[in-house]
Amino acid sequence: MGLIVQKFGGSSVANAERVMNVANIITDTYRQGNDVIVVVSAQGDTTDDLIEKAKEINPAASKREMDMLLTSGEQISIALLSMAIEKLGFPVVSLLGWQAGFNTSSAYGTARIKSIKTDRLRAEVDRHNIVVVAGFQGLNKYDDLTTLGRGGSDTSAVAIAAAMHADRCQIFTDVEGVFTADPRKVENAKKLQEITYDEMLELATLGAQVLNNRSVEMAKKYNVEVEVLSSLKRVPGTIVKEVAKMEKMLVRGVTKDTDVARISIKKIPNNPGVAFKMFAKLAQKKINVDIILQSVGRDDTKDITFTVSKENADEAVKAVLDTFDIEESNIVCDKEVAKISVVGAGMESHPGTASKMFEALYENDINIDMISTSEIKISVLIDIKDADRAVSAVHRAFYPA
Amino acid sequence: MGLIVQKFGGSSVANAERVMNVANIITDTYRQGNDVIVVVSAQGDTTDDLIEKAKEINPAASKREMDMLLTSGEQISIALLSMAIEKLGFPVVSLLGWQAGFNTSSAYGTARIKSIKTDRLRAEVDRHNIVVVAGFQGLNKYDDLTTLGRGGSDTSAVAIAAAMHADRCQIFTDVEGVFTADPRKVENAKKLQEITYDEMLELATLGAQVLNNRSVEMAKKYNVEVEVLSSLKRVPGTIVKEVAKMEKMLVRGVTKDTDVARISIKKIPNNPGVAFKMFAKLAQKKINVDIILQSVGRDDTKDITFTVSKENADEAVKAVLDTFDIEESNIVCDKEVAKISVVGAGMESHPGTASKMFEALYENDINIDMISTSEIKISVLIDIKDADRAVSAVHRAFYPA
């Protein structure tokens, strides 16, 4: 028995029935002899509804007032969830972010957790109250409410687990855990029992939208054991921790990311520092560059190809034109691409992984456009129309039925 | 120019258009060179909607969690109103009850303001920010959110005006001020320019639902000049203050209260302490008794008649039966009654007021059932079917067309 932190997202508490379901999960955990701290997001569409109300009045509202507005969403959900737990006859207390001790940076809308003053949390746990905390929010040095930005509630939960030295942080979602591929699309996709933080980070970045990246980074930093599991089916999920037990399978997952655009630039003068200048320009515009490929052309020029997210593509092209004095026709931006990746720790010592992946794609007539490898992943860029077929083919290669 | 506190109720900010209207009133006051602190309630039906959500989950939710839930309502309205003021280009900051320094008693749902720590309010006013404060709410000694109960936002506004030594506290409503009678029902009803705190208290108690009583009591205690005025029409309202300029008219208003039940008990043994015992029992059950009439019967018994609010009537009858060993047939409870009152300071030195009222009722064939007088009011109990006719007749007697 111990201290468990449980996090429930907005869809898990979208209506009265789901709130009661969540209350049952929490009180079952408590009844088993655990202390429980719950982190919860705003109900279903609450946040979107509030944003809509704000836009109607002032589309250019300050971020401070947006945070004042949006933090009411979790306030409603912690109160309702606590009432549901009261109904089941268990001792419970709800706490807003500031009551739970969340001190954040001042950046409204994208605040970072600086520290958690755990006095109140500790006192409530010592009284064996179930504590229901508003995720996504905190208080800055001006005593003003802040929000943590996208996926903030995951981060709130991991931060509490770290600060309170909880035995486990359970993140409840609408999937049963982390799968070797998207189970809705790939037959034979398997749920992983365990996965390391780094593998989870790669999977999250690659579009397996289970856990927010910031929360995984924080879990890694403070060595918090995280379990991803379903709020609808009562089955064990996937445990994310530092040294995962080596399972037989090496590849943890096959993912698809279609939020990619490829930008190719031809005939750049082959001077030193040319690539540096361009990528510095992109960094300055806060555009993340993913795969990079450079080749020397036939004459004294070179070609550079790189990928960015779709929303940054047009701005990236503009940045390139600003940097070099080249013809616009020498730049090609292709948004009809997808990135397929296999992720698994220890991959670099198994060269067979890459060739197995390439073979699967070749046998299915799927052309590889770019390749990128790291210690724990191999990614290829292909035509978007082949994406789903590619995931299935690669997955089948590593997990034969 | 000075410091003005302005309070807007839920219907004044019910939608985007009304929020913009209120923002215009506020910024006009600011533009005239005043500092402005605004107190605002939850939008329109927000509170009712939240109560509905709570009931669906747990009709017996704790008051602490109800307060956690309901205080989100004003949080939304202060954020939206501040965004509207930002849109008009004025400096503004929204503050929750606890940020504005409201310390309250611990009684969730019916907390009383204990003090206001004005540091933050003062700092924002010194910066010439328009300050938008969430009404109805505060923080108790456990660092938990509380609500002040019905009409709480009026009290919040008056309390801020008192603590900040504001020059005036303007309470915006959907009426233009305090009238000599309900202007929707009585022809020739006149708006009062001024009225004393005591007169206002009597009028509020008697059903002229303009200002919450607690707020008037607080205004009287701290000598806060209150103006009741319309948020829709830009005309001067009614000023409530200690020594109102004596206007020609003595009677400040004629009111109707239909939330009355009359309980008559016959043949109570005529022992000493009999009335005391009964009213002690009623007080113990927190039932407020209004008019009392006692008469000695023909034999050695007496009759007692008193009025209570309709919702307390049945419990009052039960309390009477618990106290005395009398036949149930000796108790009559009549809910088809109404109380008509005239209010005006200095009335006790003008005996003509009562006779003028009674004459008006007599001439209209309206039977008087009970009479009660105080220093500043005369009330009569009549049949409910005559109520509106009675108000018109009495008003006409004091304010001939």
Which of A349-363, B254-268, B292-306, B324-338 is least confident? B292-306
Q: Which of B145, B57, B134 is nearest to B108 (CA)?
A: B145
Q: Is residue A29 assigned to a domain? A: yes
Asked if A93's CB is within 8 angstroms of B64's CB, the reply is: yes
DSSP label at A325?
Answer: -
Distance from CA of B92 to the nearest CA of A (A): 10
B146: closest CA of chain A, how far (Å): 13
The pLDDT value given to residue B106: 94
What pLDDT is attached to residue B246? Answer: 53
A273 has pLDDT over 60: yes
What pLDDT, on a 0 to 100 scale, did the predictor assign at position A206?
66
pLDDT at A356: 86
Beta strand segments in A73-203, E: 92-95, 102-104, 113-116, 130-134, 137-139, 145-147, 168-173, 194-195
> At B213, is the pLDDT very low, low, confident or very high (cuts 50, 70, 90)?
confident
Q: ipTM above 0.90?
A: no
A243-269: average pLDDT: 79
- Domain-embedded: residue B190: no
* DSSP-based three-state secondary structure for B322: helix
Q: What residues in B contact A96, CB-CB < 8 Å? A: 68, 145
Residues of B within an 8 Å Cβ radius of A: 16, 19-20, 50, 53-54, 56-58, 60-62, 64-66, 68-69, 71-72, 75-76, 78-80, 82-84, 86-87, 93-94, 96, 99, 120, 143-145
Closest to A338 (Cα-Cα) out of A370, A295, A292, A375: A370
Whether B76 and A19 lie within 8 Å, measured CB to CB: no
Closest CA to B129 of B3, B42, B262: B3
B83-129 pLDDT tens trace: 999 999 999 999 999 999 999 999 999 999 999 999 999 999 999 99
Into how many domains does chain A fold? 1
Residue B372, in any domain of the structure: no
Give the residue from chain A lying closest to B143, CA to CA. A99
CB contact under 8 A, A79 and B72: yes
Sorted by sequence, the CB contacts under 8 Å of residue A138 that are 6+ apart come out as A97, A98, A102, A103, A104, A111, A113, A145, A146, A148
In a domain, A83, yes or no: yes
The predicted-structure confidence for A8-64, as pLDDT tens digits, reads as follows 999 999 999 999 999 999 999 999 999 999 999 999 889 999 999 999 999 999 999
Contacting residues of A for B87, CB less than 8 Å apart: 57-58, 60-61
Nearest-by-Cβ selection for B72 from A75, A83, A99: A75
Q: Which residue has the tokens 């921790």?
A: A241
User: Distance (Å) from the C-alpha of residue B315 to the closest C-alpha of chain A?
Assistant: 29
Beta bridge partners of A116: A102
Q: What is the rounded CA–CA span in Å between residue A72 and residue B47?
A: 13
The verdict on a CB contact (< 8 Å) between B75 and A72 is yes
Task: Copy the structure tokens of residue A336.
Answer: 């009809």
- Min Cα distance A97 → chain B (Å) is 12
The pLDDT score that the predictor gives to residue B348 is: 64
Listing DSSP states for B340-370 in one string gives: EEEE-TTGGG-THHHHHHHHHHHHTT----E
> SS3 helix, strand, coil % of chain B, rounded to 5?
40, 25, 35
pLDDT surpassing 70 at residue B54: yes
Within a domain: residue A33?
yes
Position A357 in a domain: no
Q: Out of A264-268, B73-77, B142-146, B159-163, which region has the weakest mean confidence (pLDDT)? A: A264-268
Taking only the tens place, the pLDDT of each residue in B351-361 is 678 888 889 99
Asked if pLDDT for residue B346 goes beyond 70, the answer is no
CATH number, domain containing residue A132: 3.40.1160.10
| Per-residue pLDDT at B205 | 66
Chain segment B153-186, per-residue pLDDT in tens: 999 999 999 999 999 999 999 888 988 888 888 8
C-beta atoms of B69 and A79 within 8 A = yes
Angle at B270 (CA atoms; ends B265, B272), nearest 5 degrees: 115
Q: Is residue A16 domain-resident?
A: yes
Give the number of A-B residue pairs with CB atoms closer than 8 Å. Answer: 108
Residues of chain A with pLDDT > 90, as a percent, come to: 60
Among the partner residues A20, A65, A79, nearest to B83 by beta-carbon distance: A65
Please give the pLDDT value at position A370.
Answer: 86
With an 8 Å Cβ cutoff, the interface of chain A facing chain B consists of: 16, 19-20, 50, 53-54, 56-58, 60-62, 64-66, 68-69, 71-73, 75-76, 78-80, 82-84, 86-87, 93-94, 96, 99, 120, 143-145
Decide if B66 is inside a domain.
yes
Range from A106-115, A291-300, A353-362 carrying the lowest mean pLDDT: A291-300
One-letter amino acid identity for A277? K
Give the chain B residue whose CA is nearest to the CA of A98.
B143
Greater confidence (B350 vs A344) lies with A344
From chain B, pick out residues whose CB is under 8 angstroms from the CB of A61.
Answer: 83, 86-87
Calculate mean pLDDT across residues A331-345.
Answer: 91
Among chain A residues, CA nearest to B124: A142
- Per DSSP, B99 falls in state T
Enclosing domain of residue A160: 3-173
Q: Given an 8 Å threshold on Cβ–Cβ distance, is B75 in contact with A68?
A: yes
Beta-strand relationship, B331-334 and B253-257: unpaired
